[in-house]
Amino acid sequence: MQIDKNVEEDGVIFMSVKDKEEQPDSKDSTASDVKKDGDTIILALESSCDETAAAVVKNGREVMSNIISSQIALHTIYGGVVPEIASRKHVEKINGCIRTALSEAGVTLDDIDAIAVTYGPGLVGALLVGVSEAKAISFATGKPLVGVHHIEGHISANYIENKDLEPPFVCLVVSGGHSHLVVVKDYGEYDIIGQTRDDAAGEAFDKVARAIGLGYPGGPKIDKAAREGNPDAFSFPQAKIADAEYDFSFSGLKSAVLNIINQAKMQGQELSQADVAASFQKAVVEVLAGHAIRACKEYGMDKLAIAGGVASNTSLRELLEKECAKNGIRFYRPSPVLCTDNAAMIGAAAYFEYKKGVRFGLDMNAVPNLPLGDRERRYHGRSSR
């Protein structure tokens, strides 16, 4: 993946993500070059947290453009995402992202077959920006609307760089708000076999990073600090849940880290940030990888995919690579920039829904706590047309 980055005046990072191999010169191409008979082109929007993103995706797996406007720098001052600020920035940035996504793809709204948008889960004010924008475009153009579950988007990021990947497979979904172990039975069909009982994996990274003074966003900072540290310096607990072997719990681990920090403070000792980071990371990564490999074996699956922001963690990727090779499992992982929030993954997920005939009505609303895999039509706004 090639990422062109620009820091804007307000501190927002504007990124255009491109596949290294295919670099179409959109200025010289015409609509008939980019869209052949039978192609389905989706304009996808994502605004569930602190990234405003727009992408154009062809046939679910080919990213024609992928624009991400990241607010991380703005929220860093507050030590976490401030929902109000996130919503306001989405309103400012979304039209610019869409305009660039269309022009980089070399298409116009006329070439688009459907508009896809994340409608949950996420911050309600943030989601509403993308949802309202998508509805407005659908209303103005008469093109169909497809609502996408954010986590289904993360899972579908795997389809983009792995053209051969097809369900069924096991997917470990680890983001800032979710930790799920799922069996992807078919496109858009999921069995959740494990989930977190308390903190999500990314949340644990963020909280521990704050406690040891690394700041926000915690995941990438712990990942980096851990490279200089000793993962065996501290022995942190790896929670096992007796009645649900695939569930996760990270709150005990977080408390153990806090205890060590407090003890050191009371004894006037200086703790090595890198050692705590490496030991904490080892505890999280071993639990995640252990559950995922066990699930593959028990469910007879020879394919494992990972998804979500924490899936970009170097140590998790290395351990799973090793364990998968040892156990004859094919390991799929998106490039780090497709693990964290982006709209290309939403376009990929939307394609398979669109092909099944899923259409949302203009009464679609944001659903901040939308459960994963709920295919019932009980959410407001889901309709066929």
Binding site for Zn ion (CB under 5 A): 175, 341
Judge residue 9's burial from the number of C-beta atoms within 10 Å of its C-beta, 0-12 exposed, 13-18 middle, 19 or more buried. exposed
Residue type for position 347: G
State the nearest-atom distance from the C-beta of 157 to ligand KG4, in Å: 10
Residue 310: contacted member of Zn ion, ligand KG4, none (CB under 5 to 8 Å, by partner type): ligand KG4
Handedness of CA 367, 371, 372, 374 (dihedral sign): negative
Q: State the number of binding residues for ligand KG4 (CB under 6 A).
A: 19
* 305 CB neighbour count, 10 Å cutoff: 27
**DSSP structural state of residue 136:** H
Handedness of CA 275, 324, 292, 68 (dihedral sign): positive
Of the residues 55, 310, 346, 367, which one makes contact with ligand KG4 according to CB under 6 A:
310
State the nearest-atom distance from the C-beta of 153 to Zn ion, in Å: 8
Position 219 contacts ligand KG4 (CB under 6 A): yes
Position 341 contacts ligand KG4 (CB under 6 A): yes
Position 231 contacts ligand KG4 (CB under 6 A): no
- 65 contact partners, CB below 8 Å, separation of at least 6: 16, 18, 26, 54, 55, 56, 100, 101, 102, 103, 104, 105
Omega of the bond leading into 217 within 30 degrees of 0 (cis):
yes
Query: CA 182 to CA 166: how far, in whole Å?
Result: 15
Backbone torsions φ then ψ of 144, nearest 5 degrees:
-65, 155
State the nearest-atom distance from the C-beta of 280 to ligand KG4, in Å: 11
Of the residues 46, 223, 247, 353, which one makes contact with ligand KG4 according to CB under 6 A:
223
Position 14 contacts ligand KG4 (CB under 6 A): no
Residue 218: contacted member of ligand KG4, Zn ion, none (CB under 5 to 8 Å, by partner type): ligand KG4
Position 111 contacts ligand KG4 (CB under 6 A): no
The pair of three-digit structure tokens given for residue 7, joined into one six-digit string: 């820091």
Give pairs for 161-169: CB < 8 Å, separation 24+.
Answer: 161/334, 161/335, 161/338, 162/332, 163/61, 165/303, 165/305, 165/332, 168/301, 168/303, 169/301, 169/303, 169/304, 169/305, 169/332
Position 177 contacts ligand KG4 (CB under 6 A): yes
Of the residues 167, 220, 231, 334, which one makes contact with ligand KG4 according to CB under 6 A:
220
The pair of three-digit structure tokens given for residue 285, joined into one six-digit string: 């990564």
Residue 202: contacted member of Zn ion, ligand KG4, none (CB under 5 to 8 Å, by partner type): ligand KG4
- Reduced to 3 states (helix: H, G, I; strand: E, B; else coil), residue 227 is coil
Of the residues 179, 279, 312, 365, which one makes contact with ligand KG4 according to CB under 6 A:
312
51-58 vs 2-7, strand pairing mode: unpaired
State the nearest-atom distance from the C-beta of 173 to Zn ion, in Å: 9
Position 279 contacts ligand KG4 (CB under 6 A): no
Residue 331: contacted member of ligand KG4, Zn ion, none (CB under 5 to 8 Å, by partner type): none
State the nearest-atom distance from the C-beta of 70 to ligand KG4, in Å: 10
Position 367 contacts ligand KG4 (CB under 6 A): no
51-58 vs 41-46, strand pairing mode: antiparallel
Of the residues 309, 334, 347, 381, which one makes contact with ligand KG4 according to CB under 6 A:
309
Backbone torsions φ then ψ of 284, nearest 5 degrees:
-65, -50
Position 206 contacts ligand KG4 (CB under 6 A): yes
State the nearest-atom distance from the C-beta of 136 to ligand KG4, in Å: 24
Which C-beta is closer to ligand KG4: that of 198 or that of 302? 198
Query: CA 69 to CA 99: how far, in whole Å?
Result: 13
Position 106 contacts ligand KG4 (CB under 6 A): no
Residue 217: contacted member of Zn ion, ligand KG4, none (CB under 5 to 8 Å, by partner type): ligand KG4
Which C-beta is closer to ligand KG4: that of 35 or that of 291? 291
Query: CA 340 to CA 76: how far, in whole Å?
Result: 17
Residues of the shown chain interacting with ligand KG4 in the complex, contacts defined by CB under 6 A? 49, 175-177, 202, 205-206, 217-220, 223, 308-310, 312-313, 340-341
